[in-house]
């Protein structure tokens, strides 16, 4: 099959969908190839994108400004990233939230992820009117898809692209293959690549990040994200970008499918005692509300694990007073019938959850040094008595002593939302070669090009990767359309 268009887009995750809408709005004809049988990619698992100075924030009298948020971000990443690319994204982001709203996406508001973060996370209201939770952003993807179709973009689902065509130094098309094995050749003037990274490719993860997928790192492996776009770009001379895991950490590696494990796991992240295998405390536990910080703390440990400890006296206090942290993602967490429910988890996941009638027994089951754990708990209880944590200066409000009779441990490992980076772009999102020269006609968007975090995902400004995807997708669509229409 032979097709022609102004702009060809590889993939229909949020980056590809936004590119399809903006390129079509700019007057370009658009063809999109998507590997899966549906659109939305990883964002179908998420809740919403980052934005600053959106109408929603202004209506809520938010005092966040793009300049202040930009500065905060750049200081956080040590200016060790392309400031101009970040600037383009942040300056666009408020308007992109308004643009999505005008298209029909409803947001419940702009919220924080954890207390120390800023309210930049624009959470999508699901179309069925249910309370937003994981997967809420599916509704945003559906609205984008409908809009792109209305504007005339053509989508080919279950049709993975496998080659970018280049002639006389310029990109000029895409080869893809549909579900019946038929080859499709698209001839186009500009190509946008947005295939979401290599989060379900253990070999690439090992080679480019050093982690052993499923052993010391458990990122969410969305099927099909195997680095196709990155490899296609490298094949035609695109330079390698910085590649990292979008690491988060602190929870047990049982997957998001078991919500009981997720909810009880959240009880363990309430800033009580966390130790390493040696039985020593390793941080002010409250900082691990920022799960990318938690990932770094876990990464520092020799076995890439932490052990979160609780006892029944603390559970009793939680039952009476509530838990200090709440979460819009893990909102269903409670401690009703904790011992009974937790015991079931220890049977289901004996390598992740442990319960015992003494600290020594708990240590033995979990593989923690027992003498040190007992000493650590004594020291911690002294800190609670003194109302002062002399080790890490943790806030008094989290200092609850361990004086119960039943003890619990849950391991925390490195997880993540997938991978970041691989395709090198300049601040205009033009894909560049190893000499930093743009490859004419080729743009990148979304996680394939996202290397803006200097290794640690910036969770203080939540919504940041979906925000990067929707904004860089939108920008790539605008620029690729302008370029393609200029070629006529």
Ligand X SMILES: Cc1cc2nc3c(=O)[nH]c(=O)nc-3n(C[C@H](O)[C@H](O)[C@H](O)COP(=O)(O)OP(=O)(O)OC[C@H]3O[C@@H](n4cnc5c(N)ncnc54)[C@H](O)[C@@H]3O)c2cc1C
Which residue ranges make up the site for ligand X (CB under 6 A)?
Answer: 10-16, 33-36, 41-43, 45-49, 160-161, 194-196, 220, 222, 224-225, 228, 417-418, 446-447, 463-467, 469
Pair 285, 321: CB distance under 8 Å: no
- Least distance CB 69 / ligand X (angstroms): 15
Based on CB atoms, which residue is closest to ligand X, 226 or 314? 226
Tokens for 213, please give them.
Answer: 């997928």
CB 18, min distance to ligand X, A:
8
Q: Which letter, b or e, does each residue of 297-323 get, where b requires 16 or more Cβ atoms within 10 Å of its Cβ?
A: bbbebeebbbbbbbbbebbeebeeeeb
Closest approach of ligand X to the CB of residue 174, in Å:
9
CA 308 – CA 149 distance, rounded (Å): 48
Q: What stretches of 1-51 show up as alpha helix (H) in DSSP?
A: 14-25
For residue 316, what are its two tokens? 């009793």
**Residues 6 or more apart from 93 whose CB is under 8 A from it?**
49, 50, 51, 52, 53, 54, 66, 467, 471
HSE-CB for 202 with a 13 A CA cutoff: 7
- Phi then psi for residue 384, to 5 deg, are -65, -40
Nearest distance from C-beta of residue 420 to ligand X, angstroms: 8
Tell me how far, at minimum, the Cβ of 473 lies from ligand X, in Å.
6
Closer CB to ligand X, residue 380 or residue 457?
A: 457
Q: What is the DSSP letter of 217?
A: B
For the bound state, the minimum distance from the C-beta of residue 272 to ligand X, rounded and expressed in Å, comes to 25
Nearer to ligand X, 421 or 463 (CB): 463
Q: Based on CB atoms, which residue is closest to ligand X, 10 or 373?
A: 10
Between 49 and 412, name the residue whose CB sits nearer to ligand X: 49
Distance in Å from the first CA to the final CA of the chain:
24
Nearer to ligand X, 281 or 474 (CB): 474
Alpha-carbon gap, residue 270 to 277, rounded angstroms: 20
Task: Provide, rounded to whole angstroms, the least separation between the CB of residue 41 and ligand X.
Answer: 2
Return the beta strands (E) in 69-227 as ranges.
Answer: 107-111, 121-124, 154-156, 161-167, 170-177, 183-193, 218-219
d(CA 85, CA 74): 11
Reading the block at residue 230, the tokens are 């990155």
Task: Give 192 or 432: the residue with its C-beta nearer to ligand X.
Answer: 192
Report the residue number, 219 or 376, with the smaller CB distance to ligand X. 219
- Taking the complex as a whole, the smallest distance from the CB of residue 465 to ligand X amounts, in Å, to 3
């Amino acid at each position: 099959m032979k097709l022609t268009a102004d702009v060809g887009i590889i993939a229909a995750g949020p980056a590809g969908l936004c590119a399809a809408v903006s390129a079509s709005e700019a007057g370009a004809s658009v063809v999109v190839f998507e590997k899966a049988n549906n659109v939305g990619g990883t964002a179908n698992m998420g809740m919403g994108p980052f934005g600053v100075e959106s109408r929603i924030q202004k209506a809520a009298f938010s005092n966040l400004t793009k300049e202040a948020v930009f500065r905060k971000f750049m200081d956080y990443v040590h200016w060790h990233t392309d400031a101009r690319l970040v600037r383009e994204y942040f300056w666009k982001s408020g308007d992109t939230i308004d643009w999505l709203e005008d298209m029909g996406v409803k947001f419940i508001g702009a919220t924080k992820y954890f207390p120390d973060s800023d309210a930049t996370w624009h959470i999508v209201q699901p179309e069925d009117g249910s309370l937003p939770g994981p997967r809420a952003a599916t509704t945003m993807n559906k609205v984008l898809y409908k809009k792109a179709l209305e504007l005339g973009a053509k989508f080919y689902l279950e049709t993975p692209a496998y080659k970018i065509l280049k002639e006389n130094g310029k990109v000029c098309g895409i080869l893809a293959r549909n579900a019946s094995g038929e080859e499709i050749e698209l001839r186009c003037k500009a190509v946008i690549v947005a295939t979401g990274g290599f989060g379900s490719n253990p070999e690439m993860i090992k080679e480019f990040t050093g982690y052993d997928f499923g052993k010391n790192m458990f990122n969410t492996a969305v099927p099909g994200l195997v680095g196709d776009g990155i490899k296609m770009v490298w094949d035609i001379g695109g330079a390698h970008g910085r590649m990292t895991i979008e690491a988060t950490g602190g929870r047990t590696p049982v997957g998001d499918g078991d919500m009981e494990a997720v909810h009880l796991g959240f009880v363990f992240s309430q800033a009580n005692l966390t130790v390493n295998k040696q039985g020593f405390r390793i941080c002010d536990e409250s900082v691990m509300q920022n799960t990318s910080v938690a990932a770094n703390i876990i990464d520092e440990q020799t076995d890439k694990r932490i052990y979160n400890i609780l006892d029944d006296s603390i559970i009793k206090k939680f039952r009476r007073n509530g838990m200090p942290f709440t979460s819009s993602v893990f909102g269903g967490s409670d401690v009703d019938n904790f011992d009974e429910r937790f015991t079931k988890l220890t049977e289901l996941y004996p390598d992740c959850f442990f319960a015992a009638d003494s600290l020594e027994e708990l240590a033995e089951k979990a593989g923690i040094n027992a003498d040190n754990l007992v000493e650590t708990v004594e020291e911690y209880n002294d800190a609670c008595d003194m109302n002062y944590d002399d080790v890490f200066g943790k806030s008094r409000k989290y200092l609850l002593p361990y004086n119960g009779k039943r003890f619990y441990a849950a391991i925390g490992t490195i997880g993540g939302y997938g991978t970041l980076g691989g395709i090198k772009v300049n601040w205009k999102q033009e894909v560049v070669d190893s000499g930093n020269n743009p490859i004419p006609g080729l743009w990148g968007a979304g996680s394939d090009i996202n290397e803006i975090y200097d290794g640690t995902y910036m969770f203080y400004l939540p919504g940041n990767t979906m925000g990067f995807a929707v904004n860089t997708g939108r920008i790539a669509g605008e620029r690729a359309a302008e370029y393609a229409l200029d070629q006529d």
